[in-house]
Chains A and B, each alone.
Chain A
Amino acid sequence: MLGAIATPLSPTLALAASEVRVLTGDNSSATQRAVEALRTRLPRLMAGSEIEALSRRTGPAVYLAIGPAALRALVAGGLRAPVVSLFTSSQAFHQIVGSALAASSRITAIYAEASPEHQLRLLSSIFQRRVSVGVLLTAETAHLEPLLTQVARELDLEIQFHQVRANTNIVRELNRLTAADVLLAVPDTGIFSPDNFRDILESTYRRGQPVVCYSQGMVTAGCLAAAYASVEDIAAQAAETVAEVDAGHVPPPRYPAYWRVAVNDSVARSLNIVIGEDVRRLGERPTGTR
Chain B
Amino acid sequence: MQRHLERPPWAAARLSRRKHRVITIACVVSCCATIGTPLIAAEANEQLGTADASAVATVVTPTRLRQPLSDVPASVTVITSDMLRRLGITNIVDALRLVPGMQITQTSGNRILVNYHGTNSRVPRRLNVLIDGISVYRPGLSEIYWAQLPVAIEDIERIEVTRSPSSAAYGPNSMMAVINIISKHPADVDRGSLTVGTGSLGTRWAHARLARSFGSTAVHVAASAEGTDGVDRIDGQPDAHDTTKARRLLVRSHTRLGQASALQLEGMHVEGTNEIPYKSEFESFPDQRLRDDYLGATLTTQLSAEHELQLRGTYSKHRIRQEWTACFPQAAFLPELFALWQANHGYANAVLTGQLPTGGKPSDDMLAAQAIAALQALGPAAMQPLCGLADQNRVESRGDIELQDTLAFSDRLRVVSGIGARVQRAQSQTFFGGTASNTLYRVFGNVEYKPNSSLGLNVGAYAEHDRIVGWSLAPRAGLAFHVAPDQTLRFAVSKGLRTPDVVDQQARFTYTLRTSTPGPDGSLTPRFYQSASSPGGLRSEQAVSTEIGYLFSEPRWGLTLDMKVFEDRLKRLISEVVTVAMFEPTNSNSTTLRGAELQASLAWSPAWSGFFNYAYLDNTGATTFWERTQYSRHSGSTGITHTSGSGWRWSLAYYGASGNGVGESRYGRTDLGVGRRLMFGQARAEASLALRYLDNPRTTYILSGPVRESSLDHRFQAFASLRVDF
Whether B434 is near chain A, meaning CB under 8 Å from some CB there, is no
| A266, B40: Cβ atoms closer than 8 Å | no
| A128, B556: Cβ atoms closer than 8 Å | yes
Asked if A270 meets B37 with Cβ closer than 8 Å, knowing A28-B42, A129-B558, A202-B51, the reply is no
Stretch at the interface among A52-60, A135-143, A211-219, A244-252: A211-219
Whether A273 is near chain B, meaning CB under 8 Å from some CB there, is yes
Whether A240 is near chain B, meaning CB under 8 Å from some CB there, is no
A219 nearest in chain B by CB position? B33
Most buried by A among B29, B31, B189, B558: B29
| B29, A130: Cβ atoms closer than 8 Å | no
Mask for B165-187, Cβ within 8 A of A = 1, else 0? Answer: 00000000000000000000101
Cα A213 to Cα B716 with chains together (Å): 48
Cα A68 to Cα B44 with chains together (Å): 8
| B39, A34: Cβ atoms closer than 8 Å | yes
Stretch at the interface among A3-11, A41-49, A115-123, A220-228: A220-228
Minimal beta-carbon separation of A254 from chain B (angstroms) = 16
| A217, B38: Cβ atoms closer than 8 Å | yes
Whether A73 is near chain B, meaning CB under 8 Å from some CB there, is no
Stretch at the interface among A76-84, A97-105, A188-196: A188-196
Q: What residues on A are CB-neighbors of B607 within 8 Å?
A: 158
| A67, B43: Cβ atoms closer than 8 Å | yes
| A194, B56: Cβ atoms closer than 8 Å | no
Cα A193 to Cα B603 with chains together (Å): 33
Q: Give the contacting residue for A222; candidates B36, B42, B43, B50; CB below 8 A.
A: B50
| B58, A92: Cβ atoms closer than 8 Å | no
Interface residues of B in 58-76 (CB under 8 A from A): 58, 66-71
A171 nearest in chain B by CB position? B187
Q: Give the contacting residue for A112; candidates B27, B39, B188, B606; CB below 8 A.
A: B39
| A112, B49: Cβ atoms closer than 8 Å | no
Interface residues of A in 170-222 (CB under 8 A from B): 171-172, 174-176, 178-181, 187, 189, 192-195, 197-199, 201-203, 205-208, 214-218, 220-222
A234 nearest in chain B by CB position? B37
Cα A192 to Cα B38 with chains together (Å): 15
Asked if A30 meets B42 with Cβ closer than 8 Å, knowing A206-B157, A221-B50, the reply is yes
Whether B80 is near chain A, meaning CB under 8 Å from some CB there, is yes
Name the interface size band of chain A.
35 or more
Minimal beta-carbon separation of A148 from chain B (angstroms) = 15
Whether B555 is near chain A, meaning CB under 8 Å from some CB there, is yes
Task: Tell me what chain A mostly uses at the interface: helix, strand, loop, or mixed.
Answer: mixed
Whether B211 is near chain A, meaning CB under 8 Å from some CB there, is yes
| B37, A215: Cβ atoms closer than 8 Å | yes
Cα A180 to Cα B645 with chains together (Å): 12
Cα A221 to Cα B26 with chains together (Å): 11
| A187, B485: Cβ atoms closer than 8 Å | no
Cα A230 to Cα B46 with chains together (Å): 18
Q: What residues on A are CB-neighbors of B55 within 8 Å?
A: 201-202, 205-206
| B39, A66: Cβ atoms closer than 8 Å | yes
Minimal beta-carbon separation of A258 from chain B (angstroms) = 13
| A217, B34: Cβ atoms closer than 8 Å | yes
Q: What residues on B are CB-neighbors of A113 within 8 Å?
A: 36, 40
Extra pairs beyond A129-B605, A175-B189, A266-B56 (18, CB < 8 Å)? A30-B39, A31-B39, A67-B40, A69-B43, A132-B606, A172-B189, A174-B188, A175-B188, A180-B606, A189-B46, A197-B35, A199-B49, A207-B157, A217-B48, A222-B29, A266-B28, A269-B68, A272-B70
For the complex of A and B, the 9 pairs showing the least CB-CB separation, nearest first, are A266-B26, A222-B51, A132-B606, A30-B38, A221-B33, A87-B39, A198-B49, A201-B51, A68-B43
